[in-house]
Each structure stands twice: as structure tokens, then as C-alpha cells.
Chain A
Amino acid sequence: MRAAAIRAPTLLQAQRWAGTATAALAFASCAVSGELGPAMLALFPLALIISLVGGDKLRGRWQWAWSTLLGGALLVFAVQVFAGHVDIVLAAAWFVELLCIHRLWQRGTERDELLLLLLSLLLLCAGAALAAELTFGFAFLGFAVTGTWALALTHLRFAIEAGRGEAGSAALLNSRRIATPALLGGLALLSTLAIAGAALVFFSFPRVTIGGWRRASRPSPVAGLGDRVDLAQHGTIEDDPRVVLRVRLDPPPRGDPESLAMHWRARALSHWTGQGWRSDGGGIIPARRLPTRTHHGHPPSLLTADVEVVGAFSDGVVLTPQGWPLSVEFRRPGSARAGSQRLYRNASGDLFYQPVDGNDLRYVVVVDGVEPDLPAMRGRGRRYPPWLAPDLEVPQALNPRVRALAQRLGGGKDPADAAAAIEHWLATALRYTRELPEGESRDPIADFLFVRRAGHCELFSSAMVVMLRSLGIPARNVTGYFGGRRTDAGYYVVRAGDAHSWVEAWFPEVGFVRFDPTPASARGSRQEGLWARAVLLWDGLQQRWRTFVVDYDLLSQAQAIRRAGQILNQAGRRLAGTGGSGRLRTAAVAMAAALAAAALLAGVRRLRPRAGRGRGPALSPDQCRALRLWRAARGRLRRAGFQVPPGTTARDLARRFPAVGETADAYAAARWGGAALTPRQARAALRRLDETLKRVAPDGGP
């Protein structure tokens, strides 16, 4: 107990720390948006450290410099906003950040502290306008707790100062017995109440928005699916656990497996660069309708994939699940409403959209999941249309050993069998590794096939493409992702570490068919460690945050209200005995009875002590009687025509009208002197007063 008292901060320290923490968390809520810019991002922590080190020494210093800086900043930001260079919300956030820093350096009076808290609140609002990430949610929760501390402790500090004066309050403000862990814990509990209330208000506040001035989100950072593959890189491929896709499949995969074995196609790369592949480079055109599939003798097996692509990884490419894409429909994330994007495609059949912002994209892809088997591909001949020329192009400096190997594996065979043979040989004869060869290799494919005999998926697919082309079979390298990991939130995630590469070979009347020479066990991400689980957990939280908070709209609200109504209705029917099992009904009735009894008991307990509560100091029966006697006497005097101004004391009245003397004495003795006044005495006094008043006239006085 003693140790705890020593460890606790003084009230003054706790109040200042809480204010500082509140400002810091408000800044964090803005900073997580990533839009503040490096200068403003670094400025606040630096200023905070200086304010912590400098303390009161900074107070009142460089006022002219501050005035100039803030005035200048306001001017510059305003000009930038009017010129259209800076968004007004961002400019406001910058300016509020500067004001916050100024106030952090100038703390002393109650006004300073309250201004700091109000500015922190404005900074939080700016964060709400700038950021939509889950990290904002954590900053918001922290702000709610520290803000509660700061508000309560600031109030307490200045109430003590006002109530006791500067000298009298010093001991209390520097006492370590006030801002104890118990008080801070209680205030934290209070903040959870406020957060619960916030949640209630949030979900029930009608979402009838005017939508007059909604800020667009930040532009997209471009990363992820490039139009180039370089095989000459060295080092180790990191198994990146960051989430790229969130997928819901309809119908769901059979057996609801933990891992999904599915290829997610992004782009086809046809041109050999000598060290890797690059895309065709041709233009893209709007794709109002996707190409129809050549009939292959089987009924289509439709698979609908509701895909949400994390903005930072999409790079404008539509990822489709394995199969023949039949339709792509864009949606708004977390909503059933249609999105505003248009679908484009290039000559290679890759699908694109125009990324208008950096937010995630959601689309629904319907594919025909049936892929042609080997017999369906056999016997289609070798007549290829001219547009396949790029996919038949053999690298000029192709190592003869590669050509010889291709001939050995597929020479003289039907193209389909040749492709299957090469795929099988690569998958079984070579080893998968993420270790890239040290030093630059002039011929990475030959090096992979004959020297190292081990490599990653791009080497496997590249080797197969080159070998197929050397046999005169059109083929191309395809990039995308392989796999999918089930989450607790009921969807599959494809992670950056699932990046993969495979092959598409063309067969007359069939089209491009997927081959994957990488050993099946090595495809996709194999990371299952703590970090990967944490990333999955974080992604699940982010999804819930987005679904229940960021994208909560009138439609969601209506659904939630309907659901609540259904639950109430169901409960009502069960209680009424028209539904549910007998045991459930009994439990529900028992619970309702227990609740009613508890409410009744609480009501009785509340009412019982009420008689003596809330009326100031309790009067004894004699004092009450004295009060009634005095009021009655004044009433009689007024009725008899005597002027009794309000506020006339008993002594005043007795002096002016001696006839009231006896009553006044009895009143004063009982009301203030602790003397007894029985009902009989009170009645007798009034009776005598009546008799006296009958004898005297008001003008003459008694």
C-alpha cells in the first residue's frame, strides 16, 4: 500500500501526462493515415520530446516567433488550398498540429490545458477524415481513455486551485495520494462506459447523410503485380505474410479446407528479355463482354468468387480464379452497391481496371471452373494463328542443351503430351528452392536446368515456356498467386508470399491451358509461424473494422435493426409459448422473473432511504412544528391586515407587533434553541394570537 502510494504520480504530473498522451494519440490518429507528409510527421514527436524535456521553461518564450509562425502557416496553407495543391482537410490537420505543438509548449493555466484538449479533439476529427484504417480505431480507443483521464484530472486540478487558492492547493496538487492507480483505473472504467455509449450512438444514429462534402481518399501507392519478371535476381525470396486478396467462394470449396489450392491469374508475359519476361506492351481496351469459351463437351461448372483486393497490391490488375472468366462485376467494399470502375482487357486476355484511389477494390468474378483434360487437348494439330507469334518466339541465345532436353522430353509427341511430359519432368526431376543463385547468371534457365537443378516458381515456368516454344508450341509465362488460407472471419486470404508463376500453352480450338511445372508441395506460401498468424488475425480485425465501422451505412443499419427486431420477436414468441422448446421457454420465463424481482428489489432499496435523503439537514418534529407555527402566524397577521414583508425575522416581527411575541418566542426556542414544542402548545399559541388579533386593529397596532 505504501509502495503503491510512492509509485503513484502526483496529481499535477498525472494531469500533465494525461494531456500530453491525449495530444499524442490524437496526432497518432492522423499520422496513421500516412497523409501528413514526412516533415509534419516528424515535427510532432520532436516537439513533444522537447516539451517533455523543457517543461515549464518553454512557457511564455518566443511568443512573437510563434505568432509569426502560426500566422504564416495559416497564410501558406490557405493559399495552397485555394490553389488546389492541398486538400482542405489535410491543411486543417497541419494547422491544428501546429496549434497543438504551440499549446504543448505553453501549458500553465486552465485555459491552456483545455485548449490543448480541444485541439487534440480537432486533430482526432482530422484523423477521422483522413484515415480509415484499423490503427485509427486503436488510436481512438487510446484517445478515449487518456482523454477521460485528462478531462477529469484537469477539472480536479483547477477545481482544487480555485477552491483552495494557490497556497492551499499546493500540498494537494503535489500529493501522490490522489492520482492513485485506483482513481486512474476508475476513470479508465468510466472511459469504457463512454466508449460503449459511443458504440451505441454510432450504431443507432440515423445514417441519413447529405453527402455534400465527402473527401476523396488518398491516391494509390503502386506496388505488387508488375509487368516484368527478372530471373537474374539473387538472394532469398521472403515469404511475405501480408494479405493481398480476401475471397469468398460460392459454392464454398468441398470440405471447407484450411488451405485453398487455387491459381489466381494476374498477367501473361510473352516477351523474353534474355533475363526474364515482360508483358506484350499493347494497349488495353474496354471489355464490355468477355470472350466466350469454346465448347469443350462438358457442362459449365460455375464458381463465383467475391474478391476484395488490397489496394496496395492490385496495381489495376483484376485477379481471376482458375478457370475461364465469364463475367466481372465491380462492387463497393463492404456494400452490395455497384462500384464505379470499368473493366479493360489487353491482347493477352489480362483484365484491368482504372484505380481511382488507393482503397481496396471488390469485384465478383464468375468463372467456368472446368479445365480441359489431356484427351481434350490431344490431336488438335499445330496450326496456330498469326497473333500467337510472340508466344512462339524462341530466345535467340537459347542454350542448345535446353533445346535438346525439350526434344528428348517432347519431341515427336502430340503438343498436349509434350507439354504434360515437360511439366511432369520439371515437377519431379528438379527441386524447389527460394534461395536465388549468387552472382549474375547469363543464362538463368540453363543454369537452373543443368547446374543448380533447383529454383523458384518463375524458373520452373520460364524453363517450361522456353522448352515448349523450342518445340513449336505456343506458350507464355503467367504471374499471379496460388493458394488461400481460411480465416476465422469466414473468408480466405491470399498473401503476398503466395505469389506464383506458371505456364499457359495454346492448343487449337481449346485456347490457352494452364500448366504448372512447379512441384505441387512448393507452391504458394508455406509460412505458418506466429508472425503469419498475427498478420491473419490483424487482417481479420481490419475486415471487421471495415465491415462494422467504416462501411456501416443506412443499408447496414436497416439490416441491423431488422435483425434486432427478429431477435426480439423470436424471444417474444418463445416467452409467449408459441415457439421454442419447453426447456428454453422455462429458462426464459425464469430469467424474466429473476430480472423483474431484481428490479423490484432495487426499487424498494432506492425508495426506502429516500425519506431522509436529499432535503438538506433533517429537522426534528419540534422544528417542523415550529416552522408550521411560524408560517401560520404570518398568514394570520397578513389576513388581519398587517404588513409582513418577506424576510422579516421572528424577532423583527415580535418587536413590531408585540402580540406575536409569544408565538415568536415559541418558534425561536423550538426552531433554533432545541426547545420542545408540542402540538398542543402550538395550537394554544395560535389560539391566543387569534384572540389578540381580534382585539387590535392593524392601523393602530396591537
Chain B
Amino acid sequence: MTPAWKRRLAFTRMGRWYTGLTVAIGLAATNTGNNLLFLVLGLLLSSIIVSGLLSEQSLKGVSVERRLPSVATAGQPALVGLLARNGKRRAPSFSLEVREARGDVAGHGFLVLLPARQSAEVAYRFVPQRRGVHRFRQIELATRAPFGFFEKSRPMDAEAELVVFPREVAPAPVEARAPGREGDRPEDRAGIGLEVHLLRDHRPGEDARSIHWRSSARAGRLIGIDREQERRKRVCVLLDQRGLRGEPLERAVEQAAALVVREIDSGAEVSLALAGQSLAAGAGDGQRHAALRMLALVEACGGDEAPPEPEAGASVLEVRG
């Protein structure tokens, strides 16, 4: 854990010139004994000291919290929020730069003024260039206030992870390897659907629409009908990533993600089968999120990994590398 007192100090271009000039004036004053040069030297030195004290005052008591987006997709801009709070009682902080440090993501925001006991949020936009986990390690709070001679920064541990979904591409036309029935399919149980599951005696109080009139006429009593429960179209997106590396793996993952999105958007239940892991069928936003997350974290693996197992009865959309 980074200690709270730790600071990093770097010269700015102005600071280098200013310090060089201070040294030169100091030498000139010592050489000539000119008291007015000593006076100028005193002003320069005390300005440096004042600058150091004020920059420390600006950094002190400020905490920063990172706010990550709920979804990030490779190739698309994502907004990361940085919420800074000045915990000092009276002193405001000036000219604060809040930036990421030592992580996978570079970004920064700038605050002109952060009044005492107040919070302010800045955001930066970053475009992830790859899918997968993006790690955030530290936030650096930096200031060049008040004079811009030095940049003093204070590193703060703020570890976090952001899983970036695969890049959005148009899905390639893929033919089902084991084509299932198009559209919704009946299940062998009573439920809501169109197909007849079984006929039985009508129960008093049941909706009249559940009466099978033709059978009732034939039987001479009211016969009710139970409908067959229908289920949605089931698709299994299959990606065998064994032996795939680099660009082919990325293309395959992006295709798989595109298929998953397309099928879920069309209302199908989608399962995902990868070498060594799988995701049970499901629909809706939750399933989309889970599937994209799984695809985001796909890594290259060797041939000893178990081959992907397609879901039985589902149309299998296989993505080839």
C-alpha cells in the first residue's frame, strides 16, 4: 500500500529555467557581494519554498474515487469518472490534475478549483483497444500550483478491474451445424402455447376458452384442453478456441459475440460453448452480459483443454477461427 506521505516531484520546463537562474544569481551575488542580487536571490528562493508549501497544501486532504462504467466495449469510447473530495476544513485546492497511474488505462481530468469540504467529479473518455480485463492500479493527484515550477504528485492506491467486451462487428452468415427447429419449440409439459398437450375434463371455473368444443360435442360433456408449453428458439454458439492465438482468436471471439448479440436480440435463448467452459442457455440482458463477459475473458489454450460441448437440442452456430 502506498503511504499517504509519498510524493513525486518533477521539474517543469519553467522550473528548470527558474532553478538554473536562481543558482546563477546566487553565484553572481556571492561573487560580487552585491546585496541587491542577494535580495533577488532571496525572492527566488522563497518563491520556491512558498510554491512547495502551497502545492503540498493543494494535495493534502484530497481523496479520489474512481467510477467505472457498467459496460465497456472494445473500440467504443467509455467514460470513467473521478470523484475528488477536498476534506480540508478551510483551504481550497487549486489546479488539480487527477490521472490514472501504473494501470492499463491512461486518462486524466483537471480541476481548476476544489473548494474546502466539497466534491467535484471529472471524467475522462478512453477507447479500449482490446477486450478483456483492464486493470486500474493507482490514481495520481498532481498539481503544478501555484507557479508551475514543479509538478508534485501524490499516488493513491485505487485498484479496480474493468472487463471490456469484445469489439462489435457484423455477424458473419453462419449455418447451423446441427440445425434445430426454427422458431419456438413445444416442450413435453403443460403450459402456454398453441399446440395441444392433452384433453381432459373441464374443471368448473376454468376459462371458457380452454374448452375443446369439438371433443365436448363428441363426448357429450365439457372437455378442457391443456396446451403444450412452448419454448423459445435455442441457439448454442460454439467456439473452439483451441489452437487459436492472436488475431484469429480475436476475430473468432468477436464473431461469437456478434452471434450471441444477434440471437439474443432476436429473442432466442442462447448458450455458449467454449473449450473448457460453457454457459447455460438463457435470454435477455443478463444472458447477454454473462456471455459477452465470458467471451471477453477467453484466452488462448492448448489442445489438452476439453473440446466445447454443444447444448443438446439447440441449433449450433459454430464459429471457426
Whether the pair A131, B36 counts as a contact (CB closer than 8 A) is yes
CB-based contact A615/B156 at 8 Å: yes
Known contacts A155-B147, A613-B61, A616-B158: A214-B46 contact under CB 8 Å: no
Contact B4 A649 (CB under 8 A): no
Contacts of B34 in A (CB 8 A): 128-129, 214-215
**Closest-CB distance, B14 to chain A (whole angstroms):** 5
CA of A136 to CA of B39, assembled, Å: 11
Residue-by-residue, is A486-501 near B (CB-CB < 8 Å gives 1, otherwise 0)? 0000000000000000
- Contacts A164-B110, A198-B42, A614-B61 given; does A551 touch B146 at CB 8 Å: no
* Contacts A121-B21, A212-B31 given; does A549 touch B133 at CB 8 Å: no
B46 x A125 contact (CB < 8 A): no
Spot the interface stretch: B47-55, B202-210, B220-228, B249-257. B47-55
Chain A CB within 8 A of B201 CB: no
Instruction: Identify which of A187-195, A360-368, A435-443 touches chain B.
Output: A187-195
Question: A195 vs B39: C-alpha distance in the bound complex, in angstroms?
Answer: 9
| Docked complex: A186-221 residues within 8 A CB-CB of B | 187, 190, 193-202, 205, 207-215
Q: Give the residues in chain A near B17, CB-CB below 8 Å.
A: 114, 118
Nearest B residue to A656, CB-CB = B299
Query: Nearest CB to that of B1 among chain A residues?
Result: A615
A140-B39 in contact (CB<8A) = yes
CB of A213 within 8 A of CB of B31, answer yes
Write out the residue numbers on chain B whose beta carbons fall within 8 Å of the beta carbon of A190.
Answer: 50, 54, 146
Q: Interface readout for B22-39 with A: 1 if CB under 8 Å, 0 if not?
A: 000100111111111111
Number of residues in B with C-beta < 8 Å to the partner? 62
Contact A549 B32 (CB under 8 A): no
Chain B residues within 8 Å of A140, by CB: 36, 39-40, 43
Distance of B157 from chain A, by nearest CB (Å): 6
B30 touching A209, Cβ below 8 Å: yes
- Our pick among B4, B46, B65, B97 for the contact of A198 (Cβ within 8 Å) is B46
Q: How many A-B residue pairs have CB under 8 A?
A: 189
Q: Which of B29, B46, B157 contacts A200 (CB 8 A)?
A: B46
**Nearest Cβ in chain A — how far from B117, in angstroms?**
12
Residue B214 at the A interface, CB < 8 A?
no
B45 contacts the other chain (CB 8 A): yes
A154 with B38: CB separation less than 8 A? no
Are the C-beta atoms of B112 and A553 separated by less than 8 Å? Answer: no
CA distance A570 to B160 in the complex (A): 62
Interface string of A642-660 (1 = CB under 8 A from B): 0000010101100100000
Q: Binary interface profile of A, 170-196, with partner B (CB < 8 Å = 1, else 0)? A: 001000001000000001001001111
A385 within 8 A of B: no
Question: Would A205 and B42 count as touching, CB distance under 8 A?
Answer: yes
- Interchain CB contact under 8 A, A152 and B147: yes
Q: Which residue of A lies closest to B33 (CB)?
A: A209
Q: Measured between alpha carbons, how far is A240 from B31 in the docked complex, in Å? A: 40
Are A552 and B35 touching (Cβ within 8 A)? yes
Q: Is A505 an interface residue (CB 8 A)?
A: no
Q: Say how far A137's CB is from chain B's closest CB, in angstroms.
A: 8
1/0 per residue, CB under 8 A from B, across A147-162: the answer is: 0100110111011101
A125 touches B25 (CB 8 A): yes
Give chain B nearest CB distance to A22 CB in angstroms: 12
A179 to chain B, nearest CB (A): 12
Q: Which of A156, A197, A208, A553 contacts B45 (CB 8 A)?
A: A197
Closest residue of chain A to B59 (Cβ to Cβ) is A614
> Which residues of the other chain, A, contact B13 by a CB distance below 8 angstroms?
114
Any A CB within 8 A of the CB of B114: no
Contact of A584 with B by CB under 8 A = no
| A74 interface contact, C-beta 8 A | no
Please tell me if A144 contacts chain B, counting CB pairs below 8 Å. Answer: yes
Name the distance in Å between A44's Cβ and chain B's nearest Cβ: 20
Are A201's CB and B46's CB within 8 A?
A: yes
Asked if B63 lies at the interface with its beta carbon under 8 angstroms from chain A, I say yes
Chain A minimum-CB-distance residue to B36: A128
- Size category of the A interface is 35 or more
Known contacts A129-B37, A156-B112: A194-B32 contact under CB 8 Å: no
- The answer to whether A128 touches B37, judged by C-beta atoms less than 8 angstroms apart, is yes
Instruction: Determine the chain A residues whose CB is within 8 A of the CB of B87 once the complex forms.
Output: 609, 612-613
Bound Cα distance from A144 to B5, whole angstroms: 31
Q: Report yes or no: B35 in contact with A550, Cβ–Cβ below 8 A.
A: yes
Give the CA-CA distance A213 to B33 in the complex, in Å: 9
The answer for the CA separation of A164 and B110 in the assembled complex, in Å, is 7
Indicate whether B270 reaches chain A with its CB closer than 8 angstroms.
Answer: no
Q: Does B95 contact A (CB under 8 A)?
A: yes
Q: Is the CB of B43 within 8 A of A616?
A: no
Q: Which residues of A sit under 8 angstroms from B108, Cβ to Cβ?
A: 163
Q: Decide yes or no whether A386 CB sits under 8 A from chain B.
A: no
Any B CB within 8 A of the CB of A124: yes
Residue B175 at the A interface, CB < 8 A? no
Is A618 positioned at the interface, with any CB of B under 8 Å from its CB? Answer: yes
Contacts of B38 in A (CB 8 A): 201-202, 205, 207
Indicate whether A243 reaches chain B with its CB closer than 8 angstroms: no
Bound form: Cα–Cα A159–B156 in Å: 22
**Cβ contacts B51-83/A at 8 Å (1 or 0 each):** 000100000110111100000000000000000
Q: Is the CB of A201 within 8 A of B42?
A: yes
B42 A163 Cβ-Cβ under 8 A: no
Closest A residue, CB atoms, query B24: A125
Question: With an 8 A cutoff between CB atoms, is B180 at the interface?
Answer: no
Residue of B nearest to A609 (CB): B87
Q: B33 and A197: CB pair below 8 A?
A: no
Inter-chain CA distance A131–B18, complex, in Å, is: 23
Contact between chains at B146 and A155 (CB < 8 Å)? yes
Confirm or deny: B167 has a beta carbon within 8 angstroms of a beta carbon on chain A.
Answer: no
Contact check, B31 vs A210: say whether CB atoms are below 8 A apart: yes
B321 within 8 A of A: no
How many angstroms from the CA of A614 to the CA of B139 in the assembled complex? 12
**Chain B residues near A200 (CB-CB < 8 A):** 42, 46
Question: Given A118-B17, A190-B54, A213-B31, is A617 in contact with B148 using a C-beta cutoff of 8 Å?
Answer: no
Question: Is A132 at the interface (CB under 8 A from chain B)?
Answer: yes
Q: Is the CB of A616 within 8 A of B139?
A: yes
**Among the listed B41, B65, B95, which residue makes an inter-chain contact with A617, where contact means beta carbons less than 8 Å apart?**
B65
Partner of A132, one of B36, B60, B109: B36
B168 beta carbon closer than 8 Å to chain A? no
Do A647 and B135 contact each other (CB < 8 Å), given the known contacts A121-B21, A615-B4? yes
With A114-B13, A144-B43 already in contact, the answer to whether A136 and B36 are too (CB < 8 A) is yes
Q: Find out whether the CB atom of A553 lies under 8 angstroms from the CB atom of B61.
A: no
Asked whether B35 lies within 8 Å of A197 as measured between CB atoms, the reply is no
Q: Is the CB of B148 within 8 A of A159?
A: yes
A214 close to B4 (CB less than 8 A): no
B297: Cβ under 8 A from any A Cβ: yes
Nearest CB of chain A from residue B8's CB, rounded to whole Å? 15
Q: B148 contacts A154, CB within 8 Å?
A: yes
Establish whether residues A208 and B147, one from each chain, have CB atoms under 8 Å apart when the complex forms: no
Please state if B42 and A128 are interface contacts (CB–CB under 8 Å). Answer: no
Residue B317 lies at the interface, judged by CB distance under 8 Å to chain A: no
**B50 with A197: CB separation less than 8 A:** yes
Distance (whole angstroms) from the CB of A352 to the closest CB of chain B = 29
Within 8 A of B (CB), among A103-155: 114, 118, 121-122, 124-125, 127-129, 131-132, 136, 140, 144, 148, 151-152, 154-155
Residues of A contacting B33 in the complex (Cβ-Cβ under 8 angstroms): 207, 209-211, 214, 553
User: Can you list 10 A-B pairs with a CB-CB distance of less than 8 A?
Assistant: A151-B47, A152-B147, A155-B148, A190-B50, A190-B54, A201-B38, A613-B63, A615-B157, A616-B158, A655-B277
Question: Closest 8 A-B residue pairs measured CB to CB?
Answer: A197-B46, A163-B110, A209-B33, A614-B4, A616-B156, A201-B42, A198-B42, A155-B148
Residues of chain B at the chain A interface (Cβ within 8 Å): 1, 4-5, 13-14, 17-18, 21, 25, 28-47, 49-50, 54, 60-61, 63-66, 87, 94-95, 97, 108-110, 112, 133, 135, 139, 144-148, 154, 156-158, 160-161, 277, 297
Known: A151-B147, A194-B47, A198-B43. 16 other contacts (CB 8 A): A121-B44, A144-B43, A152-B146, A154-B148, A155-B95, A158-B148, A159-B95, A190-B54, A193-B46, A197-B45, A197-B47, A209-B29, A615-B156, A617-B63, A617-B65, A652-B297
